[in-house]
Amino acid sequence: MPIAPAGLGPLSDPRCFTEPVSIAGRSHEELRADLAMMLTIRFAEEAIAELVENGEARCPCHLGIGQEAIAVGVSANLRPADRVFGAHRSHAHYLALGGDLDAMMAEVLGKDVGCSRGFGGSMHLYGGEVGFRGSVPIVAATVPIAAGAALAAKMDGNEDVAVSYFGDGAAEEGGIHESLNLAAIMALPILFVCENNLYSSHLDIGQRQPSDRIARFAEAHCIPARVVDGNDVGAVREAATALVEHARRGGGPGFLEAVTYRWRGHVGPKEDVDVGVRRSAEDLAAWKKRDPVGRLRAAMIARGDVGDEELEALADERRAAVQSAVEAARRAPYPPAAALHRAVYADRGGDIG
């Protein structure tokens, strides 16, 4: 039984949208890059799942396996001067922008060379050089911060944009609504990206909201919204590009709702079909057929873009990169205990003991 059929309709029904994605008019290079990035993300998260299982990674890790297409599609038209913010489930957001894989793995293991210097773990990622301005696990916290980054971009006048990733659960936090209003009234160059995976922790959206369509809030705030299959990288890319270009040209905020599903549990490597209040093995199995990776691969093969062999080589290469990142992370040292006080303030130079 699909969850909360009203609202999103077929978009939240896993029996729909299981065919290969449409790739008409998209170049081989672009598709290959999208696929490579989705594979990197998936393998990286599978590796993290293992690290958690074997006790090497101890920080809470929220995996987005099954949701890879969204970050990849959204990042397509972003540049380093744009400013992107994530939340607790942000490995994909970081990597899709070009964030350093080695540094992320080191961060997950709490190491000094981690992308947050070993002070964040999986839930606090930073990749300033690629425009990833931070992810933190207080739900919805970065949404107003991203709005402020958009305000800065507007003041700069360089046509940069901000991107704020959040989930369907985050839409229940009042701060998001305040941020939508602020963005609307100030015509801020921001793309709100709601990854609607129909769950917040163990509760499905039907247990938390009267409709499963989050874009209704954008519309209430007079913000143009697009709702797409979040497991179709081309659909995400096309919608995100339109909204980002609109924002760059001074058209104000845009809202992208990408409907998806996570294959793993809320936190950690398990599937949660046992503990999610209404999460069923059947739903999960159905959603796995709506796989963003598999559907792109199938489309590329069907069009004759690539053969199995090339795809295997690509996957092997991505797997090797992930493996090497894990190994480097293992070898890296932890931050020294003295580092505790290192970054409390910007510069403790002249400060009180």
Partner 1 sequence: MAEGRESLVYAEAIRDAFRYLLGRHPNVFAIGQGLWSPWYVGSSMRDLDKEFGAARVIDSPVSELACTGAAIGASLCGYRPIVVHPRMDFMLLAVDQIVNQAAKWSHMFGGQAHPAVTIRAIVNRGGEQGAQHSQALHAWFAHIPGLRVVMPATARDARDLLIASVMCDDPVLYIDDRWLYETRSPASAIVETDLRQERPAVLREGSDITLVGASFSTHLISEAATQLGEAGIEAEIIDLRIINPLDAEPVVRSVERTGRLLAVDGGWQTCGLAGEVLAATCSRLDPAALKASPARISLPDAPAPTSAPLEKAYYPTVDAIVAKARRMVMGGRVAHDQA
Ligand X SMILES: Cc1ncc(C[n+]2csc(CCOP(=O)(O)OP(=O)(O)O)c2C)c(N)n1
Q: Can residue 139 be called a binding residue for partner 1 (CB under 8 A)?
A: yes
* Segment interacting with a copy of itself (CB under 8 A) among 54-62, 108-116, 150-158, 179-187: 179-187
Closer residue to a copy of itself (CB): 172 or 271: 172
The two tokens of residue 6 are 């009203």
Closer residue to a copy of itself (CB): 210 or 307: 210
DSSP 117-179: TTSSGGGS--BGGGTEEEE-SSTTTHHHHHHHHHHHHHHHTS---EEEEEETTGGGSHHHHHH
Residue with tokens 């979040």: 230
Q: Which residue intervals of 187-260 are DSSP H helices?
A: 215-220, 233-248
- By a kind-dependent CB cut-off of 5 to 8 A, residue 219 interacts, out of partner 1, a copy of itself, Mg ion, none, with a copy of itself
> What is the rounded end-to-end Cα distance, in angstroms, of the chain?
61
The two tokens of residue 3 are 């969850």
Site residues for partner 1, 56-115, by CB under 8 A, read 58-60, 83, 85, 110-111, 114
Nearest approach in angstroms of CB 197 to ligand X is 5
* Segment interacting with ligand X (CB under 6 A) among 51-59, 101-109, 137-145, 273-281: 137-145
* 22, 27, 158, 207: which one binds a copy of itself (CB under 8 A): 207
* 209, 300, 322, 326: which one binds a copy of itself (CB under 8 A): 209
* 6, 33, 185, 313: which one binds partner 1 (CB under 8 A): 185
- By a kind-dependent CB cut-off of 5 to 8 A, residue 209 interacts, out of ligand X, Mg ion, a copy of itself, none, with a copy of itself
Number of residues that bind a copy of itself (CB under 8 A): 21
What's CA 306's distance to the chain center, in Å? Answer: 27
In 3D, which of 235, 171, 144 has the Cα closest to residue 7? 171
The two tokens of residue 38 are 């989705």
Nearest approach in angstroms of CB 224 to partner 1 is 20
* 40, 75, 122, 200: which one binds ligand X (CB under 6 A): 200
Q: Can residue 168 be called a binding residue for Mg ion (CB under 5 A)?
A: yes
Site residues for Mg ion, 170-189, by CB under 5 A, read none
Contact 273, 280 (CB under 8 A): yes
| Sign of the torsion angle spanned by Cα atoms 236, 240, 243, 246 | negative
